[in-house]
Structure 1
Amino acid sequence: MNRKFTEDYLVICVSGFFGGVVLASTWADLSLYRLGFTALIPIIVMIRVVAIRAVGLCFCAGIAWMWIFGHFGVPTRIPESCFNTNVAAQARVADFPEVYAGFNDLRLQRVELELASLDRDECQLIQRARVFYDGEIPLRLGQVLTLEMVLKRESGLANFAPDASAANSAVDRRFVRGSVTRLVSVVDAPTRFEFWRERLSSAVQQHPRLSDATKGLIGALLVADKRYLPESLARVTRELGIGHLLVVSGLHISLVGAGSLWLARLVVYPLSWWLWPQAIRVMAGLIGLLAASSYAGLAGFSLPTQRALLAFSIWWIVHILGRGSYRFRVFALVLLTLVVVNPLIVLSVSFWMSFTAVFGVLWVLQASLTGPQDTSLLRTQTLICVLLAPLMTHTFLGFSPASIPANIVAIPVATFCWVPLTLLGGLFSILGFGELSDLCWRLVGFTVDLIMNHGVPLLPNELLMPMALPWYSAAILTLTVMLCLLPVGSFRRSGMLASGGLLFALTLLTPPKSGAKLTVFDVGQGSSALFEADGRRLLFDLGGGIPEVFYRFDNSVYPYLLKHRIDHVDTVAVSHDDFDHSGGADSSRFYLTWDQWISPDPMRPGSQPCRTGRVERWSEQVQLSWLSGLPASSMSSDNDRSCVIKIEAYGRSILITGDIGKQHERELVRYWREELRADFLVVGHHGSNTSTGATFLKWVQPDYAIISAGFQNPFNHPSAEVLARLEAVNSQILNTADTGALQFEWEDTKALQTLISRRDWARFWQRNYSD
């Protein structure tokens, strides 16, 4: 291989390799036949165009590497003997424990553990786990625990829309979770970095002169401690699209490394009269690398900081070797190294954001070199924000018109004020100069309080417009912006803009569909379903979660609604007030509008109770019948007050019963009898033995029994008795804990189509969780 190929085709080869890895990450499995692409190698070799041959060979190499890594590089195939039984282990607390208020005033601590040893040899592959501890001992970063715990697979949620939590678990190679059953011993044994992370975090939070917003921001930037970020600050940064500035990542590590390198050159420069110039560059680079590594250590060596540190190291080495003149080659080399080390990194949102931003910088600079010589900071930053807008809209399921001006203002403020002053304050605190540390942090606090007290109140209440942008639409929009930056004439630029806009508009067109569709979401231990027919929609139940902590609606129902551009439903029905059915109504992402809200309890102004016997006819083919619903004033239990609905559409019927018990089921049988017959039954109370009695099933006779339950839930739902009763009436049992979300689609002239998320939609890194 000659030098010309090495230099000129590096970017091309890396592009092909990266494309192969990205394609393989979308596969449902890693079967041997997936390597069939490599059979094209003999054909590719015969291609005479060198660039195409290089791309093809590297593309096949990327596919092969993901296949190898998926089989041998990550512990997805963990023996069943490791789960659902007490396992003794020794582990280190690897990050700041987070405290949650659980149900019944229970105090839960969520802890990230690095496992040093387990008492089962076959479980030694497990290196990381996220566990919950409900004991009284407060846990701290750096403690070594001897404990007993019950491990479970990290199942994630599998819906017909992206789930960032499952992808992040795969990237972090964390495939198990668990609960601590017994804490045997706790020993404080922090590393040097862990000691200073804990100490600096405490110093910030105990500072008497800083506001809560300032403490939260300094803690996040200094030691990656986001536990104390006020919800007001988190919401504003999220909706303005500047939340990335509060996560220690490439921007922060590069700033520290490059700034330290520059300062080191100034300090070492007087020695240039007797030192070899290359030695000065090496010394300055080592100092910059040491500073960047120290900051990454204070941030906990999280995956984004590891990625940024590796990228900075490669950039420095390439420049020391004198090979950094062409920026895209350095970019390609960094990208190749990261993807080879961990190809699953392509699942990470932060990876795409960081590398798209860097690529945008390089593209703008390159376009400026060949076109108008305008490389002003304002112009460059504006163009990068425009380039990132489609990706941010696709990733965060929304677009804020204020995000571009917000980033133009916030990035310089964070770069030249918040990050330097925060780190200087931390350094002075470590060295014992308390007054200087206090001065630096108070200067940060002055700007933060100025923004929070005088800038934020001027903003509208809703900054983020919910919007779903398919990846291909985002790609077309980004490519169009990039092409328009090229130094071409105004006529060609207008043509590219018009063509790109037309293609983008075509990707958003969705032809109207006839017939009926039922989607049962995977919301864990809860319930939510969407029925659609003839252009109308009913959303029944909203999932659960933990109040004021997280809502299952946010990463299951919400992405699906946005993906299909649903912002209005005809009816929202909440079966009853239990949080696992109604929780999504409290989510900040519950943006829907509706014509009517139906629930036993008045959850919304104008909400109506379920009225037994009420019938709604949507069309000649679609009818909704409310079979039961007791008012909140009833003496019945919350579960028995559940709304019960039967939906008849295009020759098939659906029965949803909420959480009613067997006694109430018998009352329905006495009143409705044959009217209870249904093709689909959403099984009551998540499969609990308190519901779905034999008499009730005798009259319903469902073809499909759908159970909405959490994966390995603590209630052991569904019960064996319920499963036996369903089998006795020859129902096909579908449990969302195993199948993920379910979708049924039919009409008069077409057979029933069934989609099972974990079978038909999930990727291999999701499927392996529940194999």
Structure 2
Amino acid sequence: MLQLPAVPNRGQMASLTLVLSGVAVCLQWLCKRRAEQGAGQDPLSGLAVTALRLAFWASLAALSAGWQMREAMLDSPWVDLPAGPCVVADQACDLNADIELTDLPARDAERLRFDARILRTEGSAGDDDPWAGQRVRLSWYGTPPPSWLPGDRLRVQLRLRRPHGQVNPGGFDLERYAVQSGLAAVGYVRKLHQSLPPADFRLDRLRWHLAERIDRSAAVGSARFLRALTLGDTRGLTESDWLVLRKTGLSHLLAISGLHIGLLAGLGALLLRGLSRLAPRSLPRPLWAAFGALAFALPYAGLAGLGLPVQRALLMLSVFLAAVLLRRRQHPWQGLALAAMTVALIDPMALLGAGFWLSFAGVFWLMLCLPQLAESPWRWAGSLLRAQWVLALGLLPLSVVFFAQTSWIAAPLNLLAVPLVGFVMVPLALVGLVSLLWPALATWVFALFERLMAAGWAFVQWTAELPGAASVWPEPSLPSLLLAVLGICLLLLPRGFAWRGSGLLMLLPLAWPPADRPAPGAVRVQVLDVGQGLAVWIETHSRSLLYDTGPAFRSGSDAAERTVVPALQAQQRSAPDLLIVSHGDLDHAGGLATLRALFGPVPTLAGEPKRSAPASACQAGARWRWDDVEFEFLHPPIHFPEMGNDSSCVLRLTADGRSMLIPGDIGAVIESRLLKRMPELLAADILLLAHHGSKHSSSSPFLDAVDPRLAVVAAGADNPFGHPAIEVLDALENRRIPLLNTAHSGAIELAWGPAGAIAVSELRRQRARFWRRPPP
């Protein structure tokens, strides 16, 4: 249901639930009748009853998910626009509101970023306020950033936008993350009217003060790890830290979730169960253990901020402990199913994230393959080794789906790191946190933590640099995923099973899907959705080129890292044979350094070779032929000065008599020059609009000369430049030229050749989901 392109209506949800529930009830009644007639010991009957009960609870979970999705979509403040308390301008909502900071603010050199809850908006009252209670992610630009804390309340003027992500093969899905996290809008504070009295108490305010104390008391090299392990505060972890953690499969150790809650709960249960031997037998020992688990888990969860992964972990723990406290015996499989269904009923959006599936799938595989822990130490150690093997193999398909990456060193590293972090580093960090009341003791504890962490982190960094430490996987298809799951089931069967080895063969389509290259004489062009910039992947039967590398961002990242490289990896593509940088502006050349660092030296042609050095100059008249596909530069001529936009490489490519024109960022002056020098070469079936559809490009004479059947524009959603310009849109409409915009369509793929007409696909339309902004 969470993969549907639109939220089902009430009738569809009710019908589906009634049908599933009716079938489950009827079949369970039949199984009960069969048991009463003497087949009660039939294992298949028991399995059928269990499966049908799960189907019944799954239908209830689906109903809850459907209702919550429907209500979330209908309650969205964007549904009522332009009505409501905000002034709509440029697809944004400007409003005056009272807000309350709800999380730890993150500061950098140029902004303060924080989550907030809207308390009320100006001009609305009570239940009529569509923004009241909505959670938003905001930024404050300016130096120095204000010292706002969680719980602070402010009266501000906001500019809000609906979360809008880029849709490409691979990469991060911002819109899915927003709906999973409950974010109604993103934006920034335009003006601070006044500060209001803060909230009486917020746990996050205490967390902020503790984080500040840790920064002042601990060594610089270990403070970020202390904050992560005690407070769930990962603001200090750098992108290079996360890269090391992903390559080693240890990210879960520094993001507080079920593992940490479970380890602390287990430690508390063991301690109080042991102490119960000294106390009078007023309570059974299992109850002592349950109280100990809660006594350790709840405070730690509060310190960690009670984020969604922590809430899910507490919910799972509560289901298990409830059975203990109620003194009800239940099979472990029933407990796992009940916990999963409870999470799905209460928080169906959790099913969109990796945490839900990895948590329950990990427990499922361990229960299936390791039903009992051996009693002897050597067999117990063997069970731990097998557990890592089971987890590494069993979670492989989920890792490919959610992360497109697998760490081959994760199993041995986790075997060492999980007990070390869970039973040494986390307790030591928590002792250090408590010892802040006694500075001398805190200094000693933090120094010990620093030594252990420095040694461990140096080892982890070393392993991350080992050849083959991690592998990137292409984007999987559903059949290859199902086949891989079947293969994993075979591989995890007991030794001696005849078909066990065939499981390896079933993993091959997941790792090496069939090559999808254009036929000889055909070409495929993919205009990637990189926001306000340009990156075009062009491939023939055996060769490929990348035209422009996308923009660079204020954060220091760029589109090559975020979009281009993940898209190529998702499609099982490697370094291009040729790199063309139209000109040196950051919205076109921003990812050049990243691509060179990853792919090494790649032959490069550029409109401004000095700004893209080392590179050779594009020259008008230069031609080449790949697999019967012709390429030709129309601009700039030899010795043309480096003039920014007007120096852009203008590329024309032709396959089977049909062509596409890619003019970079040239303006009307260069368009006029091309009209005078080579009007016969401008005609093309497809035109990529120059300069993102700026009003200073795509002049009427130029459009008439090109006379395209289709126009494509690469522009950012709700961009501040107003691209594509109204004048250009009107000119296209007057000529009845259809337009596709990456901001609306996501990545746009164009393919043609001897096989037939030009095939056009829009990835946002192909992968429509209820949480995604639909194309207009």
Aligned twin of 2:43: none
Deviation at 1:459, TM superposition (A): 5.5
Question: Which deviations, in whole Å up to 9, do the C-alpha atoms of 1:136-194 show, x marking residues without a partner?
Answer: 44243312221111111101112244634322211112131112111122357363522
Whole-angstrom CA distance in 2 between matches of 1:233 and 1:760: 35
Q: Are 1:340 and 2:345 an aligned pair?
A: yes
Corresponding residue to 2:410 among 379, 387, 403: 403
> Does the CA contact (< 8 Å) of 1:114 and 1:129 recur in 2?
yes
Aligned twin of 2:44: none
- Map residues 37-116 of structure 1 onto 2, 5 A cutoff: 41=20, 50-51=48-49, 60-74=59-73, 75-76=75-76, 78-81=79-82, 82=86, 83=88, 84-101=92-109, 107-116=110-119
Aligned twin of 1:292: 297
Return closer, same or farther for 1:380/1:54 CA change in 2, 3 Å cut-off. Answer: closer
Return closer, same or farther for 1:54/1:248 CA change in 2, 3 Å cut-off. Answer: closer
Deviation at 1:573, TM superposition (A): 1.6
Return closer, same or farther for 1:295/1:58 CA change in 2, 3 Å cut-off. Answer: closer
> Does the CA contact (< 8 Å) of 2:100 and 2:119 recur in 1?
yes
Aligned twin of 1:584: 591
Q: Are 1:155 and 2:154 an aligned pair?
A: no
Whole-angstrom CA distance in 2 between matches of 1:616 and 1:68: 57
Aligned twin of 1:551: 558
Local SS of the residue matching 1:176? strand
Corresponding residue to 1:502 among 488, 502, 505: 505
Question: Which deviations, in whole Å up to 9, do the C-alpha atoms of 1:427-459 show, x marking residues without a partner?
Answer: 222xx1222222222222112212345663576
Aligned twin of 2:647: 641
Corresponding residue to 1:359 among 364, 373, 378: 364
Return closer, same or farther for 1:643/1:402 CA change in 2, 3 Å cut-off. Answer: same
Return closer, same or farther for 1:743/1:636 CA change in 2, 3 Å cut-off. Answer: same
Deviation at 1:197, TM superposition (A): 1.0
> Does the CA contact (< 8 Å) of 2:58 and 2:341 recur in 1?
no
Moved more, 699-708 or 546-555: 546-555
Q: Are 1:615 and 2:623 an aligned pair?
A: yes
Moved more, 66-75 or 217-226: 66-75
TM-score between both structures, scaled by the size of structure 1: 0.87
Which consecutive aligned stretches of 4+ in structure 1 deviate over 6 angstroms post-superposition?
42-46, 367-370
Deviation at 1:615, TM superposition (A): 0.7
Q: Which runs of 5+ in 2 are unaligned?
A: 32-47
TM-score between both structures, scaled by the size of structure 2: 0.86
Q: Which amino acid aligns with 2:6?
A: D
Question: Which deviations, in whole Å up to 9, do the C-alpha atoms of 1:530-564 show, x marking residues without a partner?
Answer: 12222322221222241553333344333332222
Aligned twin of 1:3: none
- Map residues 496-575 of structure 1 onto 2, 5 A cutoff: 496-498=500-502, 500-506=503-509, 508-510=512-514, 512=516, 513-514=518-519, 515-575=522-582
Q: Are 1:385 and 2:386 an aligned pair?
A: no
Q: Which runs of 5+ in 1 are unaligned?
A: 1-23, 102-106
Return closer, same or farther for 1:328/1:43 CA change in 2, 3 Å cut-off. Answer: closer
Whole-angstrom CA distance in 2 between matches of 1:358 and 1:441: 34
> Does the CA contact (< 8 Å) of 2:664 and 2:690 recur in 1?
yes
Aligned twin of 2:309: 304
Q: Are 1:759 and 2:768 an aligned pair?
A: no
Deviation at 1:223, TM superposition (A): 1.5
Aligned twin of 2:38: none
Return closer, same or farther for 1:511/1:682 CA change in 2, 3 Å cut-off. Answer: same
Whole-angstrom CA distance in 2 between matches of 1:504 and 1:78: 44
Q: Which amino acid aligns with 1:92?
A: E
> Does the CA contact (< 8 Å) of 1:598 and 1:610 recur in 2?
yes
Q: Are 1:27 and 2:1 an aligned pair?
A: no
Moved more, 650-659 or 507-516: 507-516
Return closer, same or farther for 1:683/1:34 CA change in 2, 3 Å cut-off. Answer: farther
Q: Are 1:180 and 2:189 an aligned pair?
A: yes
Return closer, same or farther for 1:454/1:158 CA change in 2, 3 Å cut-off. Answer: closer
Local SS of the residue matching 1:627? strand
Corresponding residue to 2:444 among 429, 439, 453: 439
Whole-angstrom CA distance in 2 between matches of 1:39 and 1:205: 56
Aligned twin of 1:198: 208
Return closer, same or farther for 1:732/1:312 CA change in 2, 3 Å cut-off. Answer: same
Return closer, same or farther for 1:54/1:195 CA change in 2, 3 Å cut-off. Answer: closer
Local SS of the residue matching 2:760? strand
> Does the CA contact (< 8 Å) of 2:248 and 2:410 recur in 1?
yes
Question: Which deviations, in whole Å up to 9, do the C-alpha atoms of 1:674-698 show, x marking residues without a partner?
Answer: 2111121111221222222222212
Return closer, same or farther for 1:192/1:161 CA change in 2, 3 Å cut-off. Answer: closer
Deviation at 1:238, TM superposition (A): 2.1
Local SS of the residue matching 1:550? coil
> Does the CA contact (< 8 Å) of 2:170 and 2:475 recur in 1?
no
Aligned twin of 2:474: 468
Q: Which amino acid aligns with 1:651?
A: G
Q: Number of residue pairs matched?
A: 729
Whole-angstrom CA distance in 2 between matches of 1:553 and 1:79: 37
Deviation at 1:479, TM superposition (A): 4.5
Whole-angstrom CA distance in 2 between matches of 1:388 and 1:424: 34
> Does the CA contact (< 8 Å) of 1:558 and 1:589 recur in 2?
no
Whole-angstrom CA distance in 2 between matches of 1:711 and 1:216: 35
> Does the CA contact (< 8 Å) of 1:651 and 1:748 recur in 2?
no
Return closer, same or farther for 1:161/1:122 CA change in 2, 3 Å cut-off. Answer: farther
Local SS of the residue matching 1:766? coil
Q: Which amino acid aligns with 1:114?
A: R
Whole-angstrom CA distance in 2 between matches of 1:306 and 1:454: 32
Deviation at 1:361, TM superposition (A): 2.8
Deviation at 1:396, TM superposition (A): 2.2
Deviation at 1:109, TM superposition (A): 2.0
> Does the CA contact (< 8 Å) of 2:227 and 2:233 recur in 1?
yes
Aligned twin of 1:145: 154
Whole-angstrom CA distance in 2 between matches of 1:369 and 1:326: 19
Q: Which amino acid aligns with 2:564?
A: V
Corresponding residue to 1:134 among 135, 141, 145: 141
> Does the CA contact (< 8 Å) of 1:394 and 1:471 recur in 2?
no
Aligned twin of 1:251: 259
Return closer, same or farther for 1:602/1:345 CA change in 2, 3 Å cut-off. Answer: farther
Deviation at 1:250, TM superposition (A): 0.8
Whole-angstrom CA distance in 2 between matches of 1:56 and 1:198: 44
Whole-angstrom CA distance in 1 between matches of 2:4 and 2:596: 30
> Does the CA contact (< 8 Å) of 1:299 and 1:305 recur in 2?
yes
Q: Which amino acid aligns with 2:98?
A: Q
Return closer, same or farther for 1:503/1:486 CA change in 2, 3 Å cut-off. Answer: closer
Q: Which amino acid aligns with 2:213?
A: A
Deviation at 1:592, TM superposition (A): 4.2
Local SS of the residue matching 1:175? strand
Q: Which amino acid aligns with 1:113?
A: A
Local SS of the residue matching 1:762? coil
Local SS of the residue matching 1:181? strand
Whole-angstrom CA distance in 2 between matches of 1:99 and 1:180: 15
Return closer, same or farther for 1:733/1:231 CA change in 2, 3 Å cut-off. Answer: closer
Deviation at 1:712, TM superposition (A): 1.1
Question: Which deviations, in whole Å up to 9, do the C-alpha atoms of 1:621-642 show, x marking residues without a partner?
Answer: x1111111379x9654321122
Deviation at 1:392, TM superposition (A): 2.5
> Does the CA contact (< 8 Å) of 1:248 and 1:305 recur in 2?
yes
Deviation at 1:362, TM superposition (A): 2.2
Aligned twin of 2:488: 481
